[in-house]
Amino acid sequence: MLYREAGQFKTRYDADMAVFPIRQDVIGIGLIIAAAYLLPPFLGHFAIGTVLIPFLVFSLAAIGLNLLTGYTGLLSLGTGAFMGVGAYACYKLTTLFPGVNILIWIFASGFVAAAIGVVFGLPSLRIKGFYLAVATLAAQFFLEWCFVRIPWLFNYNVSGAIEVPTRTLFGVPIVGPNATPLTRYYVILTIVIALTWIASNIVRGRIGRTWMAVRDMDIAAELMGIRLLRAKLLSFAVSSYFSGVAGAVMMFLWYGGGEAKDAFSINLSFTILFMVIIGGLGSLLGAFFGAALLHLVPIFLKFGLPALGLPIGGATAEHLTHFITGALIVFFLIVEPHGLARLWATAKQKLRLWPFPH
């Protein structure tokens, strides 16, 4: 009744190909973005720092991995390491050129990650499918080793950690010890919205179609004139760009510095992969869903349950998180292999008919 498309006819092709062809969807997105900007000043530091900021960072990384694994079909277990590359690149750039605005370096660090992504994507010419995942594992472990053994990366700090300096935008500190959670949140939000828009543009155009063709049947794609290596390398590049920026954002705007070896380990790679799987492979919306669900579960267990009167130890919460994560993955694969995004699409289908049953 509310969610009807009746009366919404498209008279031009570009209108038909819009991201949100149904007017209600456009309104919905508009409301969500407005809420994202207007509500947070009323939410506490906890909501912003522990819930929203990590959610945004994970979503961005999940979008990156989704482009590679969901749209192009190239399984990657190296997302964590590529995020690390972005973080370290950003650190080196901003310490070498402190005068340049940090936002420029955040976006630039993605290119460094992209370059490294292309190098580790070269084997995809010869190696397919599951074996390629092993190549990405090589990348993950090798880069992790680099983060520890190449002191130049962390400016020879004795602690081995990245120390995030203060950087400002229009005079307001956005990075470093003086940046408030709210400021950092707005910066991250804007970055994520911009990059999501760009990702959405890419996947709906010829490049997205090329990638999906490579994923679905690469032999047929090749016989139609698609150059496989170029398409795959582009996918590695773009995906690593997103991961790199996500890593830089994570280190600079979320963590505010720290031991990168622990932060960008193989566990992070798996976490992002699970977010992509649960959210839905091949769906940008799914990246957000997956990030939300997998990020909220441990928070709910650690803070939500005690708040409801069920005290639960920190360690137990962590164990339960592992268990529930595993259960969620199995559950979704059985019930809806296309993840939350498909469930959402199905729900919208039903909503179109509501309140009629069929």
Contact set with another protein (CB under 8 A): 12-14, 17, 75, 123, 126-128, 130-131, 134-135, 137-138, 141-142, 144-145, 148-149, 198, 201-202, 204-207, 209-210, 212-213, 215-217, 219-227, 234, 266, 270, 273-274, 277, 282, 315-316, 318-331, 333-334, 337
Quote the CA–CA distance of 265 and 140 in Å, as a whole number. 8
- Closer to another protein at the Cβ: 47 or 324? 324
Neighbours of 202 (CB within 10 A): 17
Rank residues 96 and 220 by Cβ distance to another protein and give the closer one: 220
Least distance from another protein to the Cβ atom of residue 353, Å: 18
Q: Is 164 or 328 the residue whose CB approaches another protein more closely?
A: 328
Q: Which residues contact 20 (CB under 8 A, 6 or more apart)?
A: 26, 28, 29
Nearer Cβ to another protein, position 51 or 122?
Answer: 122
d(CA 174, CA 177): 9
Shortest Cβ distance from residue 175 to another protein (Å)? 26
The residues near 139 (Cβ < 8 Å, ≥ 6 apart) are: 78, 81, 82, 116, 120
Which residue from 92, 37, 119 is spatially nearest to 252, judged by alpha carbons? 92
Would you say 263 and 144 are in contact if contact means Cβ atoms under 8 Å apart?
A: no
The residue among 262 and 318 lying less far from another protein, judged by its C-beta, is 318
Question: Least separation, in Å, of the C-beta of 335 and another protein?
Answer: 9
Q: How far is the CB of 173 from another protein (least distance, A)?
A: 30
Residue by residue, DSSP assigns 245-271 as HHHHHIIIIII-EE-HHHHTSHHHHHH
Q: How far is the CB of 38 from another protein (least distance, A)?
A: 27
Residue 283 gets which letter from DSSP? -
CB 280 within 8 A of CB 341: yes
Instruction: Indicate the residue among 152 and 170 with the shorter CB distance to another protein.
Output: 152
For residue 174, the tally of other CB atoms under 10 A from its CB is: 22
In angstroms, what is the minimal distance from the CB of 164 to another protein? 26
Shortest distance, position 327 Cβ to another protein, whole Å: 6
Report helix, strand or coil for 1: coil
- Inter-residue contact 301 to 321 (CB < 8 Å): yes
Give whichever of 96 and 134 is closer to another protein, judged by the CB atom. Answer: 134
